[in-house]
Chains A and B, each alone.
Chain A
Amino acid sequence: FDKILIANRGEIACRVIKTCKKMGIKTVAVHSDVDSSAVHVKMADEAVCVGPAPTSKSYLNMDAIMNAIKQTGAQAVHPGYGFLSENKEFAKRLEAEGVTFIGPDTHAIQAMGDKIESKLIAKAAKVNTIPGFDGVVKDAEEAVKIAGEIGYPVMIKASAGGGGKGMRIAWNDEETREGFRFSSQEAASSFGDDRLLIEKFIDNPRHIEIQVLADKHGNALWLNERECSIQRRNQKVVEEAPSTFLDPDTRRAMGEQAVSLAKAVKYSSAGTVEFLVDTKKNFYFLEMNTRLQVEHPITECITGLDLVQQMILIAKGYKLQQKQSDIPINGWAIESRVYAEDPYKSFGLPSIGRLSQYQEPLDLPNVRVDSGIQEGSDISIYYDPMISKLVTYGKTREEALKKMEEALDNYVIRGVTHNIPLLREIIVHPRFVSGDISTKFLPEVYPDGFKGHMLTAGERRELLATAAALYVAVEIDGEKVEVSGEWNLASALLPITINGKHRNLQCLLRTAAGEITLQYLGTSFKLRVLSKLAAYLRKHMPEKIPEDTSSILRSPMPGSVVAVSVKPGDNVAEGQEICVIEAMKMQNSMTAAKTAKVKSVHCKAGDTVGEGDLLVELE
């Protein structure tokens, strides 16, 4: 191809453009009006605006994208992931215009995109599948009936879905009804298709997926697995390749089943077959993603292949050059998804804002950062809140993990709340380090929610010493702590040596009144450095009474109000739903913190609300 249009935004658009540049192919970016100065637009040779900010009017606007293709004369389209990547209509329209879709053909997209159909095909191709109901569920009552037949727990999910959207787990009839309602709403808003299905929910499974690569000549390869068990709300957070759990036999069995499925649907291009693996290494087919996955870089790291390049070559009609025996597992790769979200609220509620400072840890060796933003970029409510994918690579898992610690400590992100505290904790947690993980890792390890790093006595001393050293220095509880470093208060990073140990901290805030916020081991800690006199006199300072939060409901994140279910004067019970906020396409039910009468309602359906905005007051 001479010119490829990338029908996507953010990091994946940048990722595709990079490979195109390497291959000497010209690129066309599409963008919404708010994205007109985004990184992917600047990187591409040409850029076309395809509409206003909401995705349904821009990145999902097929007419506008088709026009952009005509206008620029692009010969092929790479869809990235999400948006139109698994949309058969789009693929069909491209085909009709004689434009190559860099991905599988419409038949495969359709077959695998429908969870019900894909399961039937998988069964026929002798792939292990999960017991469940192979059909569309009509309403909540039918859902309850079917759930009863399969036996709880069950999983309700959108037939057209992916990425955890429109997916709910139910343990009883009531949750089934609620889950049905939310899932169908989410499915409608995310995929424009509210069909749902139900299947048995495999408790405590691992999520392991096999990358496949197939050409148009009937050749297919499996490129080993990716372990994606660390998830929150069914969205992946940390991925690695290979998995600590698979032995060569299981790996081969999974790989061969994946390839046979690919062959069964005459698949071409890169694709991913997702499996659930239980504790006894039984694996069940979950779904096949007919696109490039978010976490593809870790496979690239251990196999040395450029998957985007392979996709382009396959789309052009080239045969695969490699044989299955050519596919290596070289070393170990870890990917952390760095999100603009608050990890202290349900392991991550979206946050928005402007990246006032931003530095990727690219000066470290064996670190890869796939991002589509830069200092000054806005993280808006319109799109996915992912900041970047941070990938580290090493000869061994230990080496890759060590590098990840270092990379996270050197990653400067200011202006938005981010999940580095959580990522930093996961990768050093003994269970994660030993490989003892499942999709329930986060709720099991942090049953009361993530609270940040818990300091040991030694760490506490290190932290206090650093804080104090920023003003003067340092003796703690009679023990002298040596702090030295070449720091510069104007720079974002704070490299120091404490008692001979090297650490990378970041100073996030330092005020005249001695308040200091340090990011240490990923978590931000608030400290106060005071002179002896000021510390002594502090006991006289009045305590400020914090606002009573049980009687007010504030929006935990920026988003839009989908529904308000109460009005002033209503009596609400503790835990009753008060309103629903949608942010980043996730619907979140806001509930009453106590049983009370509604005093006033400050929002209505359709309103856009910011984090901390007052929604409803109770008496």
Chain B
Amino acid sequence: MNDKQHFSERHNRPRAVTLTLLSVARALCYSVSHLSVQERIEKKRKAALTGGGQLRIAAQHKRGKLTARERLELLLDPDSFVEYDMFVEHRCSDFGMEADHNKYPGDSVVTGQGRINGRLVYVFSQDFTVFGGSLSGAHAQKVCKIMDQAMMVGAPVIGLNDSGGARIQEGVESLAGYADIFLRNVMASGVVPQISLIMGPCAGGAVYSPALTDFTFMVKDTSYLFITGPDVVKSVTNEDVTQEELGGAKTHTTVSGVAHRAFENDIDALLNLRDFFNFLPLSNKDPAPVTECHDPRDRLVPGLDTIVPLESTKAYDMLDIVHGIVDEREFFEIMPNYAKNIVVGFARMNGRTVGIVGNQPKVASGCLDINSSVKGARFVRFCDAFNIPIITFVDVPGFLPGTAQEYGGIIRHGAKLLYAFAEATVPKITVITRKAYGGAYDVMSSKHLRGDVNYAWPSAEVAVMGAKGAVQIIFRGKENQAEAEAEYVEKFANPFPAAVRGFVDDIIQPSTTRKRICRDLEVLASKKQTNPWKKHANIPL
């Protein structure tokens, strides 16, 4: 800047030579304006760095929340943040918004790119200290800019949401801004991973951006997500409900299934987000990331040989199996408190990211119902979109019967999980640990849905239904039900019927499961499979 100004000044000089006085005056003039631009830059930068000012920062801290910039500092590697659009200001001129004291350089969001453990990521962090983090046209434009670039270079987008909603003073421009972001969320979906971390309020139309992203995380006690707040709810439906009950972290991670995990506080959330990021590929063109692995790939897990109880009605914890098998017992569970009858999450096998899906016998016998089907389906589709191999542990007695489920559309929702497994072309490895009954057997990444390697443990029972129910149908009204039941158990309650037909590739000793899966993943790393050309598929939504 400085050099350029000097250059142009030198060019001007020949004309000024004749009029010394004027020249002196001009020089004087120049030095004044020169200083003021430099000063203005510094001033603006300083203003941008303090957002809404010290008072509002103190108020933000008092609420137990960090500022937009503090959050980015924690999330990104030290000194890696490159900021965009620090000088952007809102363009609203109504309601006195045009006044200087109502303009904040950078407006109510901080955007840019940086690194997490050296890997590129695009970020935006809404600044609650500036107009409550509300979304102006300029704010939206800044967010869109980094999203566009993230898609072009192939890097994930992380949004740190802390916004009161639309900038009401801007009216429709604000709404347009939301839509611009939504469109980009949709376009980026399946291209680069998108993660939302809700760190304050997120209400009204704003909620749909996190909802469109791949993962939504929340901070306990300080974040809320809802379409309309408690006041509107009261006036419309006359329900009395607190913010926390309506849209707090607990509600969304246990009841609604809107959020995938909740963390204790800002620091905890951001550090966990860094950890989570390590599991993800940068884009759909990248393979699942591989890290250095200290856990021997051929490690035997003797505890697994005794984990499945002898009585098939007795529960065990599927997480024990998952922890035993994956690298260093490290498992990042997604939605751990929602639809707990299915377990999904990320882990590594011999250093490579894998997606784990498992029925949880401890909860509702591990049956599939509406919520668990949807939870599983979305996870499987994410893995497939981003080249993450899927390992499925099956112990499923079937779909949950009942009017609540049928009226709720279990047929439609169960179909989602079936669809997701069937369409997935990433490496798929399945281990049947115990029950694989009925349609649920088919759904759970069975051989018939293009499972690449399907194993059964000796305790596996692949059958249309449990012995009791089957005998009641086959031998209806006949005596000697007990004898018939024993015969059925002998015939079907074991892995052989499936193994002789090649529906499972091998019956393996449970303690060798890790070793087998690690070996298979190496082989399957070069798997190539494509689905027929289509504009897009039509998953039963």
Query: Whole-angstrom distance between the alpha carbons of A542 and B263 in the complex?
Result: 13
**A417 → B minimal CB distance (Å):** 17
**B148 → A minimal CB distance (Å):** 30
**A538 touching B267 by the CB < 8 A rule?**
yes
Q: Which candidate, A164-172, A211-219, A369-377, A476-484, is the interface stretch facing chain B?
A: A369-377
**A375 touching B303 by the CB < 8 A rule?**
yes
Q: Mark A336-359, 1 if CB is under 8 A from B, else 0.
A: 000000000000000000111110
For the complex, is A56 an interface residue (Cβ under 8 Å from B)?
A: no
Q: How many residues of A contact B (CB 8 A)?
A: 30
**B74 touching A534 by the CB < 8 A rule?**
yes
Q: Mark B54-70, 1 if CB is under 8 A from A, else 0.
A: 00000001011110001
Instruction: Answer whether A488 and B303 are a contact pair too, CB < 8 Å, given A513-B272, A533-B73.
Output: no
For the complex, is A489 an interface residue (Cβ under 8 Å from B)?
A: yes
Query: Whole-angstrom distance between the alpha carbons of A503 and B285 in the complex?
Result: 47
Residue of A nearest to B266 (CB): A541
Give the contacting residue for B74; candidates A37, A357, A511, A537; CB below 8 A: A537
Give the contacting residue for A376; candidates B61, B294, B302, B327; CB below 8 A: B302
Give the contacting residue for A542; candidates B265, B272, B327; CB below 8 A: B265
For the complex, is A490 an interface residue (Cβ under 8 Å from B)?
A: yes
A-B contact count (CB 8 A): 83
Give the contacting residue for A513; candidates B268, B295, B311, B323; CB below 8 A: B268
Give the contacting residue for B272; candidates A37, A488, A512, A530; CB below 8 A: A512
Q: Considering the complex, which residues of chain B in the window 320-374 have a beta carbon less than 8 Å from any beta carbon of chain A?
A: 320, 323-324, 327-328
Give the contacting residue for A490; candidates B70, B294, B323; CB below 8 A: B294
Chain B positions within 8 Å of A331 at CB level? none
Chain B positions within 8 Å of A356 at CB level? 303, 320, 323-324
Q: Mark B236-276, 1 if CB is under 8 A from A, else 0.
A: 00000000000000000000000000011111100110111
**A377 touching B306 by the CB < 8 A rule?**
yes
Q: Considering the complex, which residues of chain B in the window 48-103 have a beta carbon less than 8 Å from any beta carbon of chain A?
A: 61, 63-66, 70, 73-74
**A36 touching B310 by the CB < 8 A rule?**
yes
Query: Whole-angstrom distance between the alpha carbons of A90 and B276 in the complex?
Result: 61
Query: Whole-angstrom distance between the alpha carbons of A530 and B73 in the complex?
Result: 13
Query: Whole-angstrom distance between the alpha carbons of A531 and B296 in the complex?
Result: 30
Instruction: Answer whether A376 and B306 are a contact pair too, CB < 8 Å, given A489-B328, A542-B222.
Output: yes
Interface of B is mostly: helix
Chain B positions within 8 Å of A374 at CB level? 302-303
**B328 touching A490 by the CB < 8 A rule?**
yes
Most buried by A among B64, B265, B328: B265
Query: Whole-angstrom distance between the alpha carbons of A512 and B327 in the complex?
Result: 15
Q: Mark A398-433, 1 if CB is under 8 A from B, else 0.
A: 000000000000000000000000000000000000
Give the contacting residue for B294; candidates A489, A512, A531; CB below 8 A: A489
Most buried by A among B66, B264, B267, B310: B267
**A513 touching B302 by the CB < 8 A rule?**
no
Give the contacting residue for B64; candidates A357, A533, A540; CB below 8 A: A540
Instruction: Answer whether A534 and B328 are a contact pair too, CB < 8 Å, given A355-B303, A542-B265, A544-B221.
Output: no
**A506 → B minimal CB distance (Å):** 13
**A235 → B minimal CB distance (Å):** 28
For the complex, is A278 an interface residue (Cβ under 8 Å from B)?
A: no
For the complex, is B406 an interface residue (Cβ under 8 Å from A)?
A: no
Query: Whole-angstrom distance between the alpha carbons of A87 and B463 in the complex?
Result: 48
Chain A positions within 8 Å of B470 at CB level? none
Residue of A nearest to B221 (CB): A542
Chain A positions within 8 Å of B306 at CB level? 37, 376-377
**B114 → A minimal CB distance (Å):** 14
**A85 → B minimal CB distance (Å):** 27
Q: Considering the complex, which residues of chain A in the window 534-549 have a beta carbon less than 8 Å from any beta carbon of chain B?
A: 534, 537-538, 540-542, 544
For the complex, is B286 an interface residue (Cβ under 8 Å from A)?
A: no
Q: Considering the complex, which residues of chain A in the window 295-327 have a beta carbon less than 8 Å from any beta carbon of chain B?
A: none
- Show 17 A/B contacts (Cβ-Cβ < 8 Å), sorted by A: A33-B311, A354-B320, A356-B320, A356-B323, A374-B302, A374-B303, A489-B294, A490-B295, A490-B327, A512-B272, A512-B274, A512-B276, A534-B267, A540-B64, A540-B266, A541-B265, A542-B221
Binding site for B on A (CB under 8 A): 33, 36-37, 354-358, 374-377, 488-491, 511-514, 530-531, 533-534, 537-538, 540-542, 544
